[in-house]
């Protein structure tokens, strides 16, 4: 049968399953066919799992059995693709790095266990920036992920495969990880919805750590409703992750913002960000158009001041490499992963890490080690943590006036492959709008907000002259108070309706 993958959502698939007009085997086969057709150009998948159809058949059999177990399996037969830094028992997981090329996991990440319990199917693992270090997936040891809207451009990163696979209909939904924007930025570049949950609401057990105080796992899909449903499945306290929030913690956080009315949300915009320069004019226009649509729909728009937000990027690029330096120490050629022999133990370390870790990973290890070194710890790391607290306090005050804060997701549309590789600073600037949510732990979501038309002849904004033109997606970001993902889902659905209308 012919399946229109472009229009499928979890709810539509579930309805078709119930009517008997679609089986999990047929659905998974359709995605496998699309991967065979498209992924040689996109490079979103690191591996397609050989047992995907077996998983689908087991789901179909269980559905036919009329077992009471089925009633609690909200994602029975729904195919997922998983970023290559989350472990699945018996499957390879390599963080798109040569140093973990043949690593096979002995256990499931907690998010995988929860999805399995809900009946999900796993069709493969997705390409990414090596160990999630990058904003373009150009740092993968296995080639760049290309943007489905223009194959000469990046899909974003580090969850480039996660966003591109959904955008090009190779996967219904996916999981990514977000340390400084790694779900939201590629989702914006590819024109899909991506959620970065509150820090601690989703377990990190089984996620290969990059920045332990920053990392969060989240879903990517075509609609806010799907992202919300997946979040509800994977969130919750976990005994294997001490940083996860208890139900009581979540309740207390929500009570602190109990004055929020989901039917009459107040949206804040930040002049300090909008006036800082370096933002593509069409990105600003797109944001302003979105603001006007919200205002026309009766949403209260208010300017709020976040005086310390201008330091967010600098703070992030001190704290993140410091945590990278610590977390990457485990890859020592002894416990697991690849090994390049040296003349002695130190030689083993140096050869393995020098040859099997990519340039960007080594850059961040070196930077983080410097930041943490004697004589510089107080000057950089401790000072960055002080400013981190100041930024959090600014947001706390802002949320006394508004319920959600609106920014562009990225300062530009997807850029050309290779355009920023020789300039790490320019690459890091792509995170300008996203890193703050990770620094202070709040939830954030990116919603598709339209397109920018590019004239390929001049590789700039179209001036109306003749030439091949392409449309590149843009996204806007909403940030809510701690544990108020419900606010993001409410404003996200409202905004999506306005954009489509």
Which pLDDT value is given to residue 464?
Answer: 46
DSSP label at 204?
Answer: -
339 is catalytic: no
Residues of the chain with CATH 3.90.1300.10: 5-249, 262-304+383-500
Give the three-class secondary structure for 324.
Answer: helix
Taking only the tens of pLDDT, the chain with its 501 residues reads 689 999 999 999 999 999 999 999 999 999 999 999 999 999 999 999 999 999 999 999 999 998 888 888 999 999 999 999 999 999 999 999 999 998 999 999 999 999 999 999 999 999 999 999 999 999 999 999 999 999 999 999 999 999 999 999 999 999 999 999 999 999 999 999 999 999 999 999 999 999 999 999 999 999 999 999 999 999 999 999 999 999 999 999 999 999 999 999 999 999 988 888 789 999 999 999 999 999 999 999 999 999 999 999 999 999 999 999 999 999 988 888 888 989 998 898 889 999 999 999 999 999 999 999 988 888 899 999 999 999 999 999 999 999 999 999 999 999 999 998 878 777 888 899 999 999 999 999 999 999 999 876 555 444 444 557 899 999 999 999 999 999 999 999 999 999 887
- pLDDT at position 461 is 46
Q: Give pTM, 2 decimals.
A: 0.96
Examine the residue annotation and report whether 182 is marked as an active-site residue of this protein: yes
Strands 146-147 and 150-154: antiparallel
Query: Quick one: pLDDT at residue 463?
Result: 44
Per-residue pLDDT at 198: 98
Q: What one-character-per-residue DSSP string does 208-254 give?
A: PPS-TTT-EEEEEESSHHHHHHHHHHHBS-BTTBTTSPPHHHHHHHH
- Domain 5-249 indexed as CATH 3.40.50.1110: no
Q: Is 114 a catalytic residue?
A: no
For position 467, what pLDDT does the model report? 58
Of 24, 136, 140, 158, which residue is the catalytic one? Answer: 158
Positive/negative CA dihedral, 77, 78, 82, 87: negative
Tokens 């489905």 found at = 148
CATH topology for 262-304+383-500 is Amidase signature (AS) enzymes (3.90.1300)
Q: Catalytic residue, from 38, 83, 91, 196: name it.
A: 83
Exactly one of 113, 162, 165, 182 is catalytic; which is it? Answer: 182
Half-sphere exposure of 337 (CA within 13 A, CB side): 24
Supply φ then ψ for residue 223, to 5 degrees: -130, 155
State which H helix or E strand residue 150 sits in: strand 150-154
What is the pLDDT at residue 2?
81
| CA–CA separation, 253 and 248 (whole Å) | 9
Evaluate whether 469 touches 453 at the Cβ level (below 8 Å): yes
């Amino acid at each position: 049968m012919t399946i229109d993958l472009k229009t499928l959502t979890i709810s539509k698939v579930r309805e078709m399953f119930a009517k008997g007009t679609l089986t999990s085997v047929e659905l998974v086969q359709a995605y496998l066919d699309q991967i065979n057709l498209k992924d040689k150009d996109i490079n979103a998948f690191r591996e397609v799992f050989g047992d995907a159809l077996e998983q689908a058949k087991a789901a179909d059999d269980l559905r036919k059995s009329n077992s009471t177990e089925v009633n609690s399996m909200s994602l029975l037969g729904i195919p997922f693709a998983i970023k290559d830094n989350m472990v699945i028992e018996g499957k390879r997981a390599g963080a798109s790095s040569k140093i973990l090329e043949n690593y096979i996991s002995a256990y499931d990440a907690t998010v995988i266990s929860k999805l399995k319990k809900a009946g999900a199917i796993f069709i493969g693992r997705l390409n990414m920036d090596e160990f999630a270090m990058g904003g373009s997936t150009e740092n993968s040891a296995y080639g760049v992920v290309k943007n489905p809207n223009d194959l000469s451009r990046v899909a974003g990163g580090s969850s480039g495969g996660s966003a591109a696979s959904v955008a090009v209909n190779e996967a219904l939904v996916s999981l990514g990880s977000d340390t400084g924007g790694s779900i939201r930025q590629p989702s914006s570049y590819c024109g899909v919805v991506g959620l970065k949950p509150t820090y601690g609401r989703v377990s990190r057990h089984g996620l290969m750590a990059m920045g332990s105080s920053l990392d969060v796992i989240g879903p990517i899909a075509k609609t806010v409703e799907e992202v919300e449903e997946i979040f509800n499945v994977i969130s919750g306290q976990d005994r294997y992750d001490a940083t996860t929030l208890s139900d009581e913690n979540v309740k207390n956080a929500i009570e602190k913002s109990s004055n929020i009315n989901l039917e009459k949300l107040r949206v804040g915009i930040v002049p300090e960000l909008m006036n800082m320069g370096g933002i593509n004019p069409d990105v600003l226009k797109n944001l302003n158009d979105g603001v006007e649509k919200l205002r026309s729909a009766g949403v209260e728009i208010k300017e709020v001041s976040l005086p310390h937000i201008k330091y967010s990027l600098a703070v992030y690029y001190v704290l993140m490499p410091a945590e990278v330096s610590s977390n990457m120490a485990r890859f020592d050629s002894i416990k697991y992963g690849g090994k390049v022999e040296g003349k002695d133990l130190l030689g083993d370390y140096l050869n393995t890490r020098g040859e099997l870790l990519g340039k960007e990973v080594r850059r961040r290890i070196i930077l983080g080690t410097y930041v943490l070194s004697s004589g510089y710890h107080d000057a950089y790391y401790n000072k960055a943590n002080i400013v981190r607290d100041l930024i959090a306090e600014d947001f706390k005050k802002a949320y006394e006036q508004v319920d959600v804060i609106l920014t562009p997701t990225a300062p530009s549309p997807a850029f050309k492959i290779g355009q920023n590789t020789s300039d790490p600073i320019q690459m890091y600037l792509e995170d300008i709008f996203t890193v703050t949510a990770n620094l202070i732990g709040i939830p954030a979501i990116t919603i598709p907000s339209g397109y920018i038309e590019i004239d390929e002849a001049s590789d700039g904004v179209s001036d109306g002259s003749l030439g091949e033109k392409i449309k590149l997606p843009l996204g806007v970001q909403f940030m809510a108070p701690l544990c108020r993902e419900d606010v993001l889902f409410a404003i996200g659905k409202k905004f999506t309706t306005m954009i489509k209308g």
